Amino acid sequence: QDKLFVYVSPDVIGVNAFLKMGQTGTEAAAAKFGAEAKTFESSNAASRKENVEAAINEGASIIVMAGFEFNDIVTELAPAVPDTQFLIVDQCIENRPDNVHCAVFREHEATYLIGVAAGMLTKSNKVGVVSALDIPFLHRYTDGYAAGAKAQNPAVAVDIRWVGGENPFADPVRAKEQALAASAAGSDVIFTATSGGDFGVFEAAKEADFKAFAVDVNLCPEDPEHMVSGTLKRVDNAILQAVEGIEAGEKQLMLSLGLKEKGMSIIGLEDEGLAESKCLIASMPDVLAQVREVAAQIEDGSLTVEDPMFAK
């Protein structure tokens, strides 16, 4: 096998569903095009750069990178190796050379829908969100959610909390404490977007008995009594789709995936699989109806959700 696809993760993959999906997507693409797939896990800024350099050095034909952490690295390295194709998932760079491709998501569209559901479900008129780190990208989760909740229910107050600490993307202990704190402060619906910390929030949901939403994949089976729904981000599809384009010889490929392109979704938007999802939303017809209506508005363009990442 002379063809090699390398997936470089920005952090250790661990229980991070998003990063895992990147890996499965790359592997699926490799299988389809008869290439070997390798994964280089990074753990910090220096090793990200070293891993991408290593991937070039190992002769990868396509390097898939998940996350905006790779912008500088690609900007710096890609022009020198025109035969290596770079695919950045989640982010794009300016002034791209021909061999740099992007697949980005409009997460805020899905989190807006979660906010709508939360706005309907709250009895205390207070909803919470716990996210990993106060960084612009994660505001797509927190602010999209807040916007949806407020649009649905103007009386609602949104309590935004950050995990922080030494390893914000994988710290269930702190995530749990933040969720408990938010719950204690009155939130009865809490959305978690903390990657590795999500399970901490679920434990808090059990202890403090609040409703919860999650991100990226269906996590409802973890706690069918408290999990209402979650966003779905089809990273694997996006990668497969992008690789197809690259293999077809496209230059500067750019995919932007939202509700309309079925790149983002939330559990309950489709009937398919809803019954088996174990999510509470399946038994909330009014919420389902409202969410689907708002989704339709976003898809047909009559409602635009502002991208919070570039706000402020």
Partner 1 sequence: MDIDFRNQLLPCVSVFAWIFGILLVLMFVANAHFGEAISGFLNGAFGGRNLAYLLTTLSRATLIVGMALAVMISFRAGLFNIGGEGQLVIGGLAAALVGVYMPGPGWLVMATGIVAAMAAGGLWAVLAGVMQLYVGVPLLIGSLLLNYPARYLGSYLVGHPFRDVASGLPQTHLVPNEAWLPLFSGTRLDMGILFIALMSVLAVIYCNSTVPGYRARMNGLAPEFARASGLPVKRIVLQSLLMSGAIAGLVGALAVFGLHHRFTDGMLVQPLYAWTGIIAVLLVGMVPWAVPISGFFFAAIQTGAAGMERTADVPKEIGLIMQAVIILFVAGRISGVSLAGKSGENDNGH
Partner 2 sequence: MGIDLVLDPAFLQSVPRFLTPILLAALGGAICERAGVFNIALEGFILVGAFCAVLGSYFMGSEWWGAVAAMAGGVGMGLLFAEFSLRRKGDAIVVSIALNLFAAGLTVYLLRTIFGVSGAFRDSGIKGFSGIDIPLLRDIPVLGPLLNGQSILFYFAVFAALALQLFFARHRLGLRLRAAGENPAGLSAGGVDPQRVQLWALVLCGALCGLAGAQLSIANVNLFVENMSAGRGWIAVVAVLLTRGRPLYVLFIAVLFGFVDSLSFRIQGFGLPQQFTDVMPYLATLIALIVLSAWHKSKTA
Contacts to partner 1 by CB under 8 A = 38, 40-41, 43-47, 49-51, 53-54, 57-58, 68-69, 71-72, 76-77, 91, 133-137, 309-310, 312
Tell me the residue type at 79. P
Assigned token pair, 12: 């250790």
DSSP 131: E
- Least distance in angstroms from the C-beta of 42 to partner 2: 11
105 binds, among partner 2, partner 1, none (CB under 5 to 8 A by kind): none
Question: Are 77 and 93 in contact, with CB atoms under 8 Å apart?
Answer: no
x/- letters, 188..207, toward partner 2 (CB under 8 A): --------x--xx--x----
Question: Are 30 and 7 in contact, with CB atoms under 8 Å apart?
Answer: no
With binding defined as CB under 8 A, does residue 125 bind partner 2? no
158 binds, among partner 2, partner 1, none (CB under 5 to 8 A by kind): none
Site for partner 2 in 259-298 (CB under 8 A): none
User: Residue 43: which residues within 8 A CB-CB, separation 6 or more?
Assistant: 11, 12
Q: Which is nearer to partner 2, 140 or 176 (CB)?
A: 176
Question: Are 40 and 51 in contact, with CB atoms under 8 Å apart?
Answer: yes
Taking the C-alpha atoms of residue 229 and residue 97, their distance in angstroms, rounded to an integer, is 40
- Given the structure tokens 């710290």, which residue do they identify? 171
- Given the structure tokens 């350099």, which residue do they identify? 53
x/- letters, 10..39, toward partner 2 (CB under 8 A): -xxxxxx-----------------------
With binding defined as CB under 8 A, does residue 183 bind partner 2? yes
Q: Which is nearer to partner 2, 9 or 265 (CB)?
A: 9
182 binds, among partner 2, partner 1, none (CB under 5 to 8 A by kind): partner 2
User: Residue 289: which residues within 8 A CB-CB, separation 6 or more?
Assistant: none
Question: Are 112 and 305 in contact, with CB atoms under 8 Å apart?
Answer: yes
216 binds, among partner 1, partner 2, none (CB under 5 to 8 A by kind): none
- Least distance in angstroms from the C-beta of 306 to partner 2: 21
136 binds, among partner 1, partner 2, none (CB under 5 to 8 A by kind): partner 1
Which H or E run includes 53? helix 45-57
Question: Are 48 and 8 in contact, with CB atoms under 8 Å apart?
Answer: yes
Selected binder of partner 2 within 81, 120, 133, 254 (CB under 8 A) = 133
Phi, psi torsion values for 36, nearest 5 degrees: -85, 140
Q: Which is nearer to partner 2, 111 or 178 (CB)?
A: 178
* Cα first-last separation, the chain: 49
With binding defined as CB under 8 A, does residue 211 bind partner 2? no
Binding-site ranges for partner 2 (CB under 8 A): 11-16, 41, 133-134, 159, 161-162, 164-167, 170-174, 176-178, 180-185, 196, 199-200, 203, 208
